[in-house]
Structure 1
């Protein structure tokens, strides 16, 4: 009988499962307890296959054990663990109960518990990344590229410190996230590909396997090759923790990019800014008491999820520490690591869905730019004056901006009335004057850099 999901304790397993059942079912194939045990069984099966190839047991025994590994159910492993008080011994017992007496000695032969656990962990994280994490990230990246290209010429005022700066385009603003997410995709792939396993025994020195093999390191490599893994360069009873630490750092670093994007889009939806918006469904409610509200809750949700999972990186760093060949201080904390990846993928999926419905208000962007467009020319004006030899151009323009604010006249109007500055005005080229007369043209290479970044990341990620 299945447990009611609303009796589960983690919000991932009720609130977010209920809201995105297909995604969470997909992730469960890698990150559920059921999946973990099945991956451990894959390692046990790979072990006995290599024992058969090495001539320690027959191919028939290898097939028998492999079949048993396919049949063991996680629930029976847990029932067995109630007796053994040891998870891997319980797993081994469940396999041995299903095989002949001739096959039983070769189950878990020469290995220790963490050979199985760490190799299973590496394999499931690696496969989850290949099958789910990276495809989801690439889908979002492709969407951001499409938005950046579409909006590459859409005028938007640039902002620094929450203040209007010089103009850019909305596509250029989105190109920031094209580039940042692109680099994180590469990092996630690289660190996932580098996740390692071990078949080196109780303290990592191949004590048991060396009794049977002249080349125990090659034996380890062969077992892990069956699983598509490489061995850790060094292992004691555990795999060097830095492989997993680096992978989770890559995930959380990417999560930070999502949170920053979500925060930017959320702020652009403020009433006083109103440059973008999320299309609301016909039945969607923004507030329980204010029917007119359209809160940017999906973007707030992404940032909130990041706030929950980002601090868990500290635990990964703490789990780098293990006394001598191994202690159990990471045995509980390590079981929560999959939640980080699940939370991240759920956020990627949500952000993709909501960005597909993003509406850009070009007229509002233009109106916001118009608010300060006459001050925008302060930067090009100061630089042009300096290029023409003005000894203190920045100070001259700063004073001019103060006078503009006091009189209500534009910088251009004041410029031609200043006896000291008028000679410089006469020396400007038509193109330079054009920028001062039409501040919206002062966009630099925003459009070209947007195209460059989109082309770059499409090529590097083969989108």
Structure 2
């Protein structure tokens, strides 16, 4: 019997596979194999360009070698895995994933006997791995996660503009507070997400790589060719891969750059978790209605329910992602002395953390698409809480020189359900000018939103940060 996704150990490759599929080309073991092939091939070509080495590769061979990673497919990945675990093409099983890649490339050389020794020349596995991991992580973030985050930010910005002047009761400490607008609250999240996105893009652009041998000293390279400027060679090679060069390292590339990306992703996720919580509460308070999907079941026993499952699912996945990202950021930045292998298995879980991020983003976006503001209920709730204009009243009275303004309104409203009539009776008793009295009588909860609508314009005319 063929076992499909229902038999997957992880929901990322089972229940949620349709959401995580875009990351397969960047976060799978096959993707890492392909990135290792790219590093090894480009390094081999760079060695051939050195005058000091006798390695010669004609243009046809160069094209064929580059095709190894540019068209790396499932069959190629299977060969690499067989080289590692079973043996293949005359090579015994390596029981070493990077060595398997070396032999894979050797099998495709036109003259394996003379050209083969130059594959992986002077390198340690970590020279290849640190570069390959970053060649996978960078595009995974920029090509998959960033567009999903940007779509969310744009959706929030669009909704903020659409509902810029929709008055809504605010709640601080969970209690009725100075009114706001629904659009302004969404604009806050759009702006926060834009800033978090900027930090993520900056962190990803700062990914760095090392190529300096077993202890970070270029020892093997210098022993073979002492007259070559290996530091300049390494810098040029690493930068040709689109990475910054890490000039000082041990056997491992200190992973502070990875930690920065993971921390930046946590920042994005924290904004969206906060959004998920607020949207859930707005749905619970019926400020937001949800589109009922035909045929969908909200509860196995309560047929009436339309649950905010997308926001809940997003919250859960983003929380799981942040747990993984925190662990990764803490773990990968340490290594005993010049190298220990404990980080190798940990880094294989980066894809899982990114996958939980992506599911969270997709679910949040789905939740936003389903909700519609209940303007009538929002206005009804405002009218039911007229005490929120107390702030405006005492502020206006302060302006008029009333030294007891705050205490006067506190006595009327604190812990009490004051009505508009109560306020108007107070206004009629105040020793103020008639124009001030008219100003006070004109106050309403729905009209007391300050610059809420105008603040949406802080998002700017463009969608960018």
Q: CA deviation at 1:141?
A: 1.1
Aligned 1:11-50 pairs, distance under 5 A: 11-17=11-17, 21=18, 23-50=19-46
Which residue number in structure 2 is paired with residue 411 of structure 1? 423
Deviates more, 1:226-235 or 1:185-194: 226-235
Alignment partners' CA distance in 2, 1:452 and 1:300: 29
Determine if contact 2:273/2:314 at 8 Å carries over to the other structure. yes
Aligned 1:325-340 pairs, distance under 5 A: 325-340=338-353
Q: In structure 2, which of residues 192, 212, 215 is the aligned counterpart of residue 180 of structure 1?
A: 192
Describe the shift of the 1:220–1:33 C-alpha distance in structure 2 as closer, same or farther (beyond 3 A): same
Alignment partners' CA distance in 2, 1:201 and 1:251: 31
Q: In structure 1, which of residues 127, 131, 140 is the aligned counterpart of residue 143 of structure 2?
A: 131
Which residue number in structure 2 is paired with residue 228 of structure 1? 242
Q: In structure 1, which of residues 207, 210, 220 is the aligned counterpart of residue 219 of structure 2?
A: 207
**TM-score normalized by the length of structure 1:** 0.90
Alignment partners' CA distance in 2, 1:137 and 1:295: 24
Instruction: Kindly provide the CA deviation profile for residues 415-450 of structure 1, in whole angstroms up to 9, marking residues without a partner as x.
Output: 423xxxx113646275x43553x2322111111111
Determine if contact 1:298/1:350 at 8 Å carries over to the other structure. yes
Which residue number in structure 1 is paired with residue 304 of structure 2? 292
Describe the shift of the 1:243–1:435 C-alpha distance in structure 2 as closer, same or farther (beyond 3 A): farther
Deviates more, 1:442-451 or 1:55-64: 55-64
Which residue number in structure 2 is paired with residue 169 of structure 1? 181
Which residue number in structure 1 is paired with residue 127 of structure 2? 115
Alignment partners' CA distance in 2, 1:415 and 1:408: 10
Instruction: Kindly provide the CA deviation profile for residues 74-121 of structure 1, in whole angstroms up to 9, marking residues without a partner as x.
Output: 223223323323221122122223322121011111211111111011
Alignment partners' CA distance in 2, 1:232 and 1:276: 50
Describe the shift of the 1:141–1:68 C-alpha distance in structure 2 as closer, same or farther (beyond 3 A): closer
Q: In structure 2, which of residues 406, 414, 430 is the aligned counterpart of residue 394 of structure 1?
A: 406
- Is the partner of 1:277 in helix, strand or coil? strand
Which residue number in structure 1 is paired with residue 79 of structure 2? 76
Determine if contact 1:48/1:62 at 8 Å carries over to the other structure. no
Q: Please tell me whether residue 263 in structure 1 is matched to residue 277 in structure 2.
A: yes
Describe the shift of the 1:402–1:240 C-alpha distance in structure 2 as closer, same or farther (beyond 3 A): closer
Equivalenced residues, count: 446
- Is the partner of 2:197 in helix, strand or coil? helix
Which residue number in structure 1 is paired with residue 90 of structure 2? none
Q: Please tell me whether residue 357 in structure 1 is matched to residue 370 in structure 2.
A: yes
Q: In structure 1, which of residues 401, 414, 428 is the aligned counterpart of residue 436 of structure 2?
A: 428
Which residue number in structure 1 is paired with residue 88 of structure 2? none
Instruction: Kindly provide the CA deviation profile for residues 290-326 of structure 1, in whole angstroms up to 9, marking residues without a partner as x.
Output: 1111111111001111221212213421331111111
Alignment partners' CA distance in 1, 2:182 and 2:414: 29
Gaps of 5+ in 2: 86-92
Aligned 1:359-374 pairs, distance under 5 A: 359-372=372-385, 374=386
Determine if contact 1:167/1:440 at 8 Å carries over to the other structure. yes
Alignment partners' CA distance in 2, 1:402 and 1:103: 85
Q: Please tell me whether residue 450 in structure 1 is matched to residue 446 in structure 2.
A: no
Alignment partners' CA distance in 2, 1:408 and 1:453: 35
Q: CA deviation at 1:375?
A: 0.3
Runs of 4+ in 1 over 3 A off after TM superposition: 61-72, 402-409, 424-427
Deviates more, 1:288-297 or 1:90-99: 90-99
Deviates more, 1:213-222 or 1:157-166: 213-222
Q: Please tell me whether residue 92 in structure 1 is matched to residue 102 in structure 2.
A: yes
**TM-score normalized by the length of structure 2:** 0.90
Determine if contact 2:379/2:446 at 8 Å carries over to the other structure. no
Describe the shift of the 1:54–1:308 C-alpha distance in structure 2 as closer, same or farther (beyond 3 A): same
Describe the shift of the 1:139–1:110 C-alpha distance in structure 2 as closer, same or farther (beyond 3 A): same
Which residue number in structure 2 is paired with residue 218 of structure 1? 232
Determine if contact 1:96/1:107 at 8 Å carries over to the other structure. yes
Describe the shift of the 1:63–1:107 C-alpha distance in structure 2 as closer, same or farther (beyond 3 A): farther
Instruction: Kindly provide the CA deviation profile for residues 222-262 of structure 1, in whole angstroms up to 9, marking residues without a partner as x.
Output: 22233222212432111121100010111121111111111
- Is the partner of 1:73 in helix, strand or coil? helix
Describe the shift of the 1:154–1:206 C-alpha distance in structure 2 as closer, same or farther (beyond 3 A): same
Alignment partners' CA distance in 2, 1:408 and 1:278: 32
